[in-house]
Amino acid sequence: MSDLSIVVTHAGAREERTVTTGTRAWELYADDADVIAARVNGVLCDLAHELRDGDEVEGVAIDSKHGRDILRHSTAHVMAQAVQQLWPDARLGIGPPIENGFYYDFDVETPFHPDDLDKIETAMRKIIKEGQRFSRRPVADAEALAELKDEPYKLELIGLKGSGHGEDAAEGANVEVGGSADGELTIYDNLRRDGNLAWKDLCRGPHLPTTKRIPAFKLMRTAAAYWRGDEKNKQLQRIYGTAWESKDALAAYLAQIAEAEKRDHRKLGRELDLYSFPEELGPGLVVFHPKGGVIRRVMEDYVRRRHIEEGFSYVSTPHISKDGLFHTSGHLPYYADTMYPPMELEGARYQLKAMSCPMHNLIYQSRGRSYRELPLRLFEFGGVYRYEKSGVVGGLTRVRGLTQDDSHSYVTPEQAADEIKHLLNFCLGLFRDFGLEDFYLELSTRGDTPKDKFQGSEEDWATAEAILQQAADESGLELVPDPGGAVFYGPKISIQAKDAIGRTWQLSTVQYDFGQPAGFGLEYVAADGSHQQPVMIHSAKFGSIERFIGVLVEHYAGAFPPWLSPVQVQGIPIAERHVAYLEDVAKQMSERGLRVEIDDSDDRMQKKIRNAQLQKVPFMVIAGDQDMEARAVSFRYRDGRQDNGVPVSEAVERVAAAVASREQV
């Protein structure tokens, strides 16, 4: 038996080691229970991987990104084994790790019921207890086809891999067949302690050494999902689960989900009396109550003022138009199924608008335009209607009637890059004022999507994508490519913002459009007297005002900063005799434009505090005998802080200052 020299790396340090032939990776980590896989020469491997001379080896810890993926993928295997135990006719789809967990798809006669999850979890616990070994076995394609003859979906994946489409098979399918440099297929056998085969699956790996190494998991929900993500394919039954390196990590994750549920804008909207979704109106149609109306109005006033400061002109256009307009814009062939159907009147067909750009084009076109007027910037609150599919509407995030803070910049081609940068900066400043600080950009291009889904020439697209790319690069923000995500008339940049609990939301979009100016025959007279076609740049800052309100409610968990709070100050008299005094204080505040209410109900003062607290009012101003005597009030903040005996004039200033600065309190 000869010796091998290998290099073991850990946290950047390199250590040369000599080991005997036949040494497997796990032997290097026998005393480190956190290591569940190894990276050998940069490739993730099972701990059972046999080392060769010159290998560079690094342990993969279970709480690292890759370690969690391996844990989760292994847990998916355990779940699939459990499902096939309980439902032997279940056929396997794919089972990749995903953010925070994993799923596995099954073709079953009867969809799973939520109660089935308990049964499956029980079976999984048994499998974990058995300490089954995950054992890797390379197989030739023909062998794999023979072994998996009862798994039609796996056969399909093998076939796709054979034809060189392995990567396209489905998102997540490369954990089954992709990745291996030599295109070799592998099967993972789950072996019991006595060596008997418990279960097997086509899989690239790697996996945990044994099922015992799954510290904590939970099945979350069942759902249907189209095979290979295509609506035309059969729906399989998907089970989502989560798995973590420790019971504590699982508990923390579940707590995070519970926190998100507490912030749900649908729930808070009802509790804070902001808005509702009356059944009588129909799905996706929202009414804003007085308190929600305040938030809307403050946002609208703010964004209108900001647009004007940034060189926009505020305009207004109707909600309805003859359908020819949307044919000219090119929207109608593309979006016919998501626009409300036409109304026939006096021989014409009228449609509710689903976007305002065609109408802004009419304003541009209303007279001749000179290059001296460009950039010409139009902005409005466009009420638009989109017949979103019934399964996607929900809350404020996806509605059928919405208000866009929709703007269009008409520019010369040379001005486009600067205008895009201008718009991106505008958006970022705006989000910061709303307390969102953490962003990244997404650049949506054509990618390899069939060209007939997009309008315009190769050159136009190339130019547009290059300009957006450059503007995005210069922003200094992280940029995520989104090939295939472009709109039919041009590429776009979207700004993704992270909220208080780390979720990302797509907010603003900036789109480069050469198609509509061509379709409408838009022109300007250039310096040399020639007629030229402008470029239009679409941008929406909030996107949809409804949706942005939903995001803000969740971001702030309903506890808005004072400038956005429907009620900024709740006046609380200690006894009835203090009401008049507080009314006088309230009057002074109202005169400063502050929103004040006084609770003069029969409730006890403690109850009034509780109510104001539940309504998440930022400032409670309490007054009793001591305060009256001192011409003062007592502050109570949402977090329970108190500041008593504050002179009235100072109290007014304090609230006014907090509102003016848009700070959170």
| Binding residues among 104-123 for RNA as defined by CB under 7 A | 111-114
Query: With CB under 7 A as the contact rule, which of the stretches 1-9, 207-215, 281-289, 650-658 interacts with RNA?
Result: 281-289
Is 328 a binder of RNA (CB under 7 A)? Answer: no
Is 223 a binder of RNA (CB under 7 A)? Answer: yes
Distance between CA 333 and CA 337 in Å, rounded? 9
Q: Which amino acid is at 152?
A: P
Residue 408 is among the residues annotated as catalytic for this protein: yes
Peptide bond into 483 cis (omega under 30): no
Is 654 a binder of RNA (CB under 7 A)? Answer: no
| Binding residues among 455-514 for RNA as defined by CB under 7 A | 487, 492, 509, 511
SS3 content of the chain, % helix, strand, coil (to 5): 40, 30, 35
Q: How many CB atoms lie within 10 A of CB 150?
A: 10
Residue 10 is among the residues annotated as catalytic for this protein: no
Q: What string marks each residue from 170 to 209 as x (binds RNA by CB under 7 A) or -?
A: -x--------------------------------------
Q: Give the shortest CB-275-to-RNA separation in angstroms.
A: 12
- Specify the residue, 111 or 215, whose C-beta has the smaller distance to RNA: 111
Give the pairing type, strands 619-623 and 632-637: antiparallel
- Residue spans of beta strands (DSSP E) within 414-552: 438-445, 479-483, 492-498, 504-513, 524-525, 531-532, 535-544
Question: Which one of residues 174, 222, 403, 516 is an interface residue with RNA (CB under 7 A)?
Answer: 222
Question: Which one of residues 119, 270, 289, 421 is an interface residue with RNA (CB under 7 A)?
Answer: 270
- Specify the residue, 213 or 291, whose C-beta has the smaller distance to RNA: 291
Backbone angles phi, psi at 396, to 5 degrees: -95, -10
Cα 8 to Cα 12, 61, 68, 365, 409, distances in angstroms: 10, 14, 21, 69, 57
Is 626 a binder of RNA (CB under 7 A)? Answer: yes
Cα 297 to Cα 60, 182, 226, 484, 618, distances in angstroms: 53, 61, 42, 36, 19
| Binding residues among 120-149 for RNA as defined by CB under 7 A | none
Candidates 360, 538, 578, 616; catalytic one: 538
Residue 453 is among the residues annotated as catalytic for this protein: no
| Binding residues among 408-437 for RNA as defined by CB under 7 A | none
* Cα four-point dihedral sign 323, 327, 333, 338: negative
- Specify the residue, 344 or 576, whose C-beta has the smaller distance to RNA: 576
Q: Give the shortest CB-296-to-RNA separation in angstroms.
A: 20
| Binding residues among 329-358 for RNA as defined by CB under 7 A | 331, 335, 338-339, 354-355, 357
Q: Which of 75, 79, 7, 89 is nearest to 36 (CA)?
A: 75
Query: With CB under 7 A as the contact rule, which of the stretches 6-14, 154-162, 585-593, 613-621 interacts with RNA?
Result: 613-621
Distance between CA 498 and CA 496 in Å, rounded? 7
| Binding residues among 224-243 for RNA as defined by CB under 7 A | 224-226, 229-231, 235, 237-238
Question: Which one of residues 469, 496, 613, 664 is an interface residue with RNA (CB under 7 A)?
Answer: 613
Residue 357 is among the residues annotated as catalytic for this protein: yes
- DSSP-assigned letter for residue 308: H
Is 277 a binder of RNA (CB under 7 A)? Answer: yes
Distance between CA 615 and CA 610 in Å, rounded? 9
- DSSP, residue by residue, 167-211: GGS-TTGGGTS---TT--EEEEEEE-TTS-EEEEEE------SBG
Distance between CA 135 and CA 186 in Å, rounded? 10
Candidates 351, 404, 455, 615; catalytic one: 404
- Specify the residue, 25 or 574, whose C-beta has the smaller distance to RNA: 574
| Apex 393 CA angle, 390 and 397, nearest 5 | 170
- Specify the residue, 17 or 270, whose C-beta has the smaller distance to RNA: 270
Question: Which one of residues 250, 605, 656, 665 is an interface residue with RNA (CB under 7 A)?
Answer: 605
Q: What string marks each residue from 13 to 52 as x (binds RNA by CB under 7 A) or -?
A: ----------------------------------------
Query: With CB under 7 A as the contact rule, which of the stretches 117-125, 175-183, 275-283, 301-309 interacts with RNA?
Result: 275-283
